[in-house]
């Protein structure tokens, strides 16, 4: 039978090829879809072709002719695509400000500007943060994204309610109830044989406002001259929290303590962590790793792990220790001669240990500053900003914890026991290539071939000019690195230069550490060990929860900085800030403001003269009149507006 004309046309039509992947949205509206199983295949999705896909959704994409706007992306490789359908939502809820009975403005800047809602409960008022359940399944990209308001979270723009909104947006677990805390206090620790180490000089070094104390350090001369006995003592949480118990399940669900400025959500109930913590002048059960270290070069000669009893002689904080190291002749108030001598010895020892690691492991040292908001947890009053740069006091604790984490990982591997390991893959060569091109074109700095290995990255980091360009370069470098995660298999930790590394030293606030303590306790008491399959499930869960917690912290810290600007009168007083241009786009300049530790956007519309833009492969340059702007340049800016819903600030140039 002859085919009809319609059948002939259909047979000649090209077959539509669809690719499945996960959508990664950018705040500017465009995004990318990486196809699993083919790392080289990543679609660029222009803003108008994202449909109603949300960040993290599983989508189907078809390739379209290349019409990308390179102001969005400098990636000139890879195809351009259009999202045809959303096959799986990454989230069930979103949080936004209720602007009318039928519309919210989402908190997450990766989401559309508005989302329709069917209705709002009576207790929800216009201007409130609300939690919305998404109603459409995303089966077709033309569907209107909409939702149903589940509950009100309080007035948007109020610090306490803004923090509640962020906690809800990122799915952070609720605080423990009073009943939970009372039940936790009834837990009694498992009695096991312990080595009494309470006579050792033992100290803790933590932030002044620390919530718990899960690690301590002891130091004393070893039996052999020129050697030091270094002890790392960790709260023995596993004897309190048994696998499969109520609070083990609760801790696994949380996976980490959440530290938002002005809001603390602990992994374990606070009254219990107070009992477990290694408190000053209290005999405490601990899980210790004891090292013998050669003082002249910092080489670790031996180590052993033991369940112990310790007594902290002195609780110290980072700022006090650093002040003493800066001026050793002046002993801090409350310290005795033994305190001062042991801190100096500890400082000397860890410097040698770090030198040994630098020589043999070639770790990457990135001393990027961090600026945190100081917010009172009780009143939610913003006290100011705290700028911290890694210092010698931080290094003391970090070096000792690194040694303990490595020793435990090595023991697990040597004994053939399943564990959880911290891994950090090598960076993507394409991302490193983009970074190399950027620093060359924007700053005239040759990065060399960073993909040749960690040694090349080390040399580059050591030679970055210590001037205004450094923060921008470090920020871009970190974005070129892969994210660290947890695995049931011991693999490379690129940043540390290790292939055997675990997290053992923070079991009060990190579930991977607690799970490792539980595994070691089962090993030491001849109980059943967790299988590799179970450990793999924990690794995947905790890696996801860690990223969630990090994103929640950054979102809260950035939003409270906007409150700080508003409260300080920066809008009314036309406060001028020195900024460094980080990125030039067709719509304006993205600038880093070192004083605030935040990014600010300067739109092209705020320049008084005609704006022209020149593109190169890895960076762009903008010209306004006779003035040129490119990444790395200084610019003076003033605050123009604050958006406390979407969480960003807009600035104008001060010329």
- Cβ 439 vs Cβ 473: under 8 Å: yes
Say yes or no to pLDDT of 544 above 50.
yes
pLDDT higher at 55 or 216? 216
Residue 56: both structure tokens together? 């993290």
At residue 625 the predicted structure's pLDDT band, cuts being 50, 70 and 90, is low
The three-state DSSP-derived secondary structure of 33-57 is EECCCCCCCEEEECHHHCCCCCCCC
Average pLDDT over residues 115-126: 85
Residue 200: both structure tokens together? 């050792």
The string of pLDDT tens digits covering residues 305-360 is 999 999 999 999 999 999 999 999 999 999 999 999 999 999 999 999 999 999 99
- Cβ 607 vs Cβ 617: under 8 Å: no
Cα dihedral: 376, 377, 381, 383 (round 10): 20
Does an H or E element contain 591, and which?
strand 588-593
Domains observed in the chain: 19-88 (2.40.50.690), 93-156 (2.40.50.640), 192-425+485-560 (no CATH), 429-480 (no CATH), 569-653 (2.40.50.140)
Say yes or no to pLDDT of 139 above 50.
no
At residue 626 the predicted structure's pLDDT band, cuts being 50, 70 and 90, is low
What's the pLDDT score for residue 3? 53
The residue to which tokens 């880093």 are assigned: 592
The residue to which tokens 């958006």 are assigned: 643
Whole-angstrom Cα distance, residue 119 to residue 102? Answer: 6
Average pLDDT over residues 513-530: 97
Which range is most confident: 135-149, 245-259, 571-585? 245-259
DSSP category for residue 198:
T
Average pLDDT over residues 445-468: 90
Average pLDDT over residues 618-622: 65
Count of beta carbons in the 10 Å neighbourhood of residue 193: 8
Say yes or no to pLDDT of 9 above 80.
no
What's the pLDDT score for residue 252? 97
What would you report as the CA-atom Rg of the chain, rounded to the nearest whole angstrom?
Answer: 27
Whole-angstrom Cα distance, residue 601 to residue 587? Answer: 9
At residue 441 the predicted structure's pLDDT band, cuts being 50, 70 and 90, is confident
Average pLDDT over residues 142-159: 85
Whole-angstrom Cα distance, residue 416 to residue 408? Answer: 12
The string of pLDDT tens digits covering residues 267-280 is 999 999 999 999 99
Say yes or no to pLDDT of 141 above 50.
no
Contacts of 8 (CB under 8 A, 6+ apart): none
In angstroms, the Cα distances linking 34 to 40, 42, 296, 547, 598 are 8, 4, 50, 19, 29
pLDDT higher at 181 or 594? 181
At residue 142 the predicted structure's pLDDT band, cuts being 50, 70 and 90, is very low
Average pLDDT over residues 529-533: 96
- Cβ 208 vs Cβ 228: under 8 Å: no
Average pLDDT over residues 71-100: 80
At residue 107, φ and ψ (nearest 5 deg) are -70, -40
Coil, strand or helix: which one is 567? helix
Say yes or no to pLDDT of 6 above 90.
no
Residue 94: both structure tokens together? 């979103």
The three-state DSSP-derived secondary structure of 529-561 is CCCHHHHHHHHHHHHHHHHHHHHHHHHHHHHHH
At residue 227 the predicted structure's pLDDT band, cuts being 50, 70 and 90, is very high
Average pLDDT over residues 389-414: 95
Whole-angstrom Cα distance, residue 623 to residue 584? Answer: 11
At residue 56, φ and ψ (nearest 5 deg) are 95, -10
Average pLDDT over residues 594-620: 78
Percent of the residues in the chain that have a pLDDT greater than 70, as a whole number: 92
pLDDT higher at 13 or 617? 617
Coil, strand or helix: which one is 285? strand
What's the pLDDT score for residue 469? 81
DSSP category for residue 208:
T
The residue to which tokens 């589940």 are assigned: 150
What's the pLDDT score for residue 36? 86
In which order are the strands placed within the sheet that holds 611-615? 611-615, 620-624, 627-629
Q: Nearest 5°: CA angle at 615, between 613 and 616?
A: 155
Mean pLDDT of the chain: 90
Average pLDDT over residues 128-156: 79
What's the pLDDT score for residue 488? 97
Whole-angstrom Cα distance, residue 509 to residue 499? Answer: 24
Residue 152: both structure tokens together? 């009100």
């Amino acid at each position: 039978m002859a085919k009809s004309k319609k059948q002939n046309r259909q047979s000649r039509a090209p077959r539509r090829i669809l690719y499945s992947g996960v959508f990664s949205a950018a705040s500017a509206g465009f995004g990318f879809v990486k196809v699993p199983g083919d790392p080289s295949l990543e679609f660029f999705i222009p803003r108008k072709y994202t449909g109603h896909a949300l960040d993290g959704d599983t989508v189907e994409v078809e390739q379209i002719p290349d019409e990308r706007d390179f102001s969005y992306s400098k990636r000139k490789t890879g195809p351009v695509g259009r999202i045809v359908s959303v096959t799986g939502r990454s989230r069930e809820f979103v949080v936004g400000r209720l602007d009318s009975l039928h519309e919210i403005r989402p908190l997450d800047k990766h989401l559309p500007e508005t989302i329709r809602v069917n209705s709002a409960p009576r207790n929800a008022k216009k201007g409130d943060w609300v939690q919305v359940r998404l109603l459409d399944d995303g089966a077709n990209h033309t569907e209107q994204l909409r939702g149903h308001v589940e509950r009100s979270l309080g007035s948007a723009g109020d610090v306490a309610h803004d923090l509640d909104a962020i906690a809800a947006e990122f799915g952070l677990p609720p605080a423990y109830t009073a009943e939970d805390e009372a039940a936790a206090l009834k837990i009694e620790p498992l009695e096991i044989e312990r080595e009494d180490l309470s006579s050792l000089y033992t100290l803790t070094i933590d932030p002044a406002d620390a919530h718990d104390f899960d690690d301590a350090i002891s130091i004393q001369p070893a039996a052999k001259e020129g050697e030091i006995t270094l002890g790392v003592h960790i709260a023995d949480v596993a004897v309190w929290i048994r696998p499969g118990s109520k609070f083990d399940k609760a801790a696994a669900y949380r996976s980490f303590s959440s530290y938002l400025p002005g809001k603390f959500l602990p992994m374990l109930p606070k009254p219990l962590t107070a009992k477990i913590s290694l408190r000053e002048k209290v005999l405490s059960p601990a899980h210790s790793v004891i090292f013998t270290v050669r003082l002249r070069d910092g080489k670790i000669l031996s180590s052993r792990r033991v369940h112990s009893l310790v007594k902290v002689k002195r609780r110290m904080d980072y700022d006090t220790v650093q002040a003493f190291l800066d001026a050793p002749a002046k002993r801090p108030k409350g310290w005795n001669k033994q305190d001062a001598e042991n801190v100096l010895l500890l400082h000397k020892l860890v410097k040698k240990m770090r030198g040994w690691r630098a020589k043999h492991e070639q770790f990457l040292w990135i001393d990027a500053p961090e600026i945190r908001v100081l917010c009172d947890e009780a009143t939610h009053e913003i006290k100011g900003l705290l700028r911290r740069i890694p210092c010698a006091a931080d290094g003391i604790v970090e070096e000792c914890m690194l040694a303990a984490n490595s020793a435990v990982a090595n023991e697990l591997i040597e004994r053939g026991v399943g564990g959880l390991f911290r891994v950090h893959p090598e960076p993507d060569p394409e991302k490193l290539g983009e970074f190399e091109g950027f620093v060359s074109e924007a700053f005239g700095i040759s990065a060399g071939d960073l993909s040749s290995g960690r040694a090349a990255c080390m040399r580059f980091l050591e030679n970055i000019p210590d001037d205004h360009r450094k923060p921008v370069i470090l920020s871009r470098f970190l974005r070129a690195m892969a994210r660290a995660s947890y695995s049931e298999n011991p693999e490379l930790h690129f940043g540390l230069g290790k292939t055997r590394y675990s997290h053992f030293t923070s079991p009060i606030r990190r579930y991977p550490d607690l799970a490792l303590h539980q595994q070691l306790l089962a090993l030491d008491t001849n109980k059943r060990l967790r299988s590799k399959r179970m450990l793999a499930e924990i690794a995947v869960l905790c890696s996801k929860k860690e990223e969630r917690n990090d994103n929640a912290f950054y979102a809260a810290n950035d939003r409270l900085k906007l409150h700080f600007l508003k409260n300080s009168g920066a809008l009314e007083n036309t406060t001028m800030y020195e900024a460094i241009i980080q990125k030039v786009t067709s719509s304006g300049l993205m600038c880093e403001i070192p004083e605030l530790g935040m990014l600010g956007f300067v739109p092209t519309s705020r320049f008084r003269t005609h704006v022209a833009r020149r593109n190169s492969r890895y960076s762009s340059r903008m010209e306004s009149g006779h003035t040129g702007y490119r990444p790395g340049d200084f610019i003076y800016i003033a605050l123009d507006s604050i958006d406390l819903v979407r969480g960003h600030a807009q600035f104008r140039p001060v010329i």
